[in-house]
């Protein structure tokens, strides 16, 4: 039995040595798939603990890798046998963490600038599997680890504090920077040759997150719009919000009445469900923009909407506008710190018909 196990192990090691890139990609993909299949709510305690554990393991492996390279750590014979597999563990953990953060960012992204951030994150995730990028070694792993650390804290503090904004964001930045500083202070202080490969990439990513936050590049995790639509009226019945619309059955891509046929006395109503974690108590703003031929996009109104977290399908709320002009409109949903979390475009047209209207229902 022992000989058979050793035989399988030797075959695997031989295959791994000859196909290291392929095996790394497969393990990375398994980490991604594992997280997609097992990922729960962003505020799930087990998820938070699991991600923190992954970050600790990744940090320990990264420190060991650096110390081995600079000669301050020598592995025992048993340690060397384990170290043969450490790359597989690193790829699996990065695959799991980055897939989770990409999903969380994607669900909160609305503006094109936010999608650029997600594309960049996904690009770095895939670049880690390219042999030429892997040859860069430490800088790439430090960058990926810094992104994972910053992403974790960027939604940990809003979940803990119950709101988004500059304070939880800065706490996240400072916590990540403190962790990385302590790793540097107790392991690599005085190692000037590591500044270019370790210290500068970590500082660069933290600066990028700071710039990204104030230019609204980073999606407002953990807030996410689940559903949004334009309606003639909203009724509440048995715990449900019912939006009245006239969308034709074949416009399956529509969200309520995005072609709003207005008659005198009609109100334009935006109904949405917005997810936020349990014990979340914050505000979003429904900003109504009208397209003007001369002035471009003009802000016509800003309606505050208080949100409470905890509901899987999201908190339901709506805002109405009674006075409006015909033309193209857009409602942008912004968090209290000014980051876009959702939007909807629609056109208001005059309805000259006097026939009785038959409305359909969308249930939130």
Considering 187, 214, 241, which residue would you say is the last residue of a domain? 214
Q: How many helices (H) and strands (E) does the chain have?
A: 10, 11
Distance CA 169, CA 331 (A): 26
- Please count the CA atoms within 13 angstroms of the CA of 195 that sit on its side-chain side: 5
Identify the domain boundary among 185, 214, 243: 214
Nearest to 226 by CA among 71, 87, 333, 354: 333
Q: Note whether 273 and 354 are same-domain residues.
A: yes
pLDDT digits (tens, 9 = 90+) for 140-151: 889 889 999 999
Q: Is 222 exposed, middle or buried (0-12, 13-18, 19+ CB in 10 A)?
A: buried
What is the per-residue pLDDT across 20-43, written as a single tens digit (0 to 9) for each?
556 656 766 666 666 666 677 899
**Domain range for 131:** 2-214
Give the CATH number for residue 345.
Answer: 2.60.40.1930
Banded pLDDT at 139 (limits 50, 70, 90): confident
Within the chain, what is the greatest distance between any pair of CA atoms? 87
Nearest by Cα to 263 from 328, 354, 359: 354
**Same domain assignment for residues 109 and 241:** no
Q: How many domains does the chain have?
A: 2
My answer on whether 9 and 106 are in the same domain is yes
Q: Could you tell me the CA-to-CA distances from 326 to 234, 254, 260, 262 in Å, in that order? A: 21, 19, 9, 9
C-alpha separations of 316 from 138, 228, 354 in Å: 46, 10, 32
Query: Domain for residue 321, yes or no?
Result: yes
Q: How many CB atoms lie within 10 A of CB 60?
A: 11
Q: Please tell me whether residues 210 and 265 are part of one structural domain.
A: no
Give pTM, 2 decimals.
0.82
- Domain shared by 346 and 231, yes or no: yes
Residue 74 lies in a domain: yes
- Looking at residue 69, what is its pLDDT? 84
With contact defined as beta carbons under 8 Å apart, do 12 and 26 qualify?
Answer: no
* Structure tokens that stand for 232 in this block: 């003639």
Q: How many CB atoms lie within 10 A of CB 301?
A: 15
Same domain for 245 and 202, yes or no, is: no
Answer whether residue 126 is part of any domain: yes
pLDDT band, residue 231 (cuts 50/70/90): very high
Final residue before a domain boundary, out of 214, 244, 278? 214
Same-domain status, 72 and 161 = yes
Are residues 111 and 163 both part of a single domain?
yes
Locus of tokens 């058979």: 4
Are 331 and 271 within 8 A, CB to CB? no
Give 286-304 pLDDT, tens digit per residue. Answer: 999 999 999 999 999 999 9
In a domain, 219, yes or no: no
Same domain, 104 and 237: no
205 and 71 both lie in a single domain: yes
Over range 117-134, report the average pLDDT.
65
Tell me which of 160 and 191 has the higher pLDDT.
160
Q: Which residues pair with 269 in a beta bridge?
A: 231, 320
**3-state secondary structure at position 302:** strand
262 and 159 within one domain = no
Q: Are residues 34 and 151 in the same domain?
A: yes
């Amino acid at each position: 039995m022992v000989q058979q196990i050793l035989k399988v192990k030797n075959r695997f090691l031989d295959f791994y040595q000859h196909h290291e890139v392929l095996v790394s990609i497969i393990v990375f993909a398994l980490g991604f798939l594992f997280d997609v299949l097992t990922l729960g709510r962003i505020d799930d305690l087990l998820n938070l603990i699991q991600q923190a554990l992954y970050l600790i393991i990744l940090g320990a492996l990264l420190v060991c890798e650096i110390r081995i390279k600079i000669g301050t750590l020598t592995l025992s014979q048993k340690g060397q046998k384990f170290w043969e597999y450490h790359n597989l563990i690193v790829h699996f953990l990065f695959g799991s963490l980055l897939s989770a953060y990409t999903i969380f960012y994607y669900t909160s992204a609305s503006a094109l600038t936010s999608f650029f951030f997600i594309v960049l994150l996904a690009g770095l995730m895939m670049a880690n599997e390219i042999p030429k990028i892997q040859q860069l070694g430490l800088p790439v792993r430090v960058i990926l680890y810094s992104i994972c650390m910053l992403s974790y804290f960027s939604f940990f503090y809003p979940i803990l504090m119950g709101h988004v904004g500059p304070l939880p964001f800065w706490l996240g930045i400072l916590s990540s920077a403190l962790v990385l500083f302590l790793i540097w202070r107790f392991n690599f202080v005085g190692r000037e040759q590591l500044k270019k490969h370790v210290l500068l990439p970590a500082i660069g990513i933290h600066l990028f997150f700071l710039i990204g936050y104030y230019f609204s590049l980073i999606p407002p995790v953990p807030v996410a719009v689940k559903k949004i639509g334009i309606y003639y009226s909203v009724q509440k019945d048995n715990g449900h919000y019912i939006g009245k619309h006239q969308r034709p059955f074949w416009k399956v891509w529509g969200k309520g009445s995005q072609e709003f046929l207005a008659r005198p006395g009609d109100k334009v109503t935006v109904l949405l469900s917005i997810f936020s974690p349990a014990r979340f108590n914050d505000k979003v703003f429904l900003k109504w923009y009208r397209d003007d031929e001369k002035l471009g996009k003009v802000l016509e109104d800003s309606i505050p909407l208080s949100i409470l977290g905890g509901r899987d399908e999201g908190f339901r709320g709506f805002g109405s506008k009674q006075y409006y002009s015909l033309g193209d409109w857009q409602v942008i949903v912004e968090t209290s710190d000014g980051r876009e979390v959702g939007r909807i475009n629609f056109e208001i047209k005059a309805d000259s018909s006097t026939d009785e209207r038959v409305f359909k229902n969308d249930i939130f």
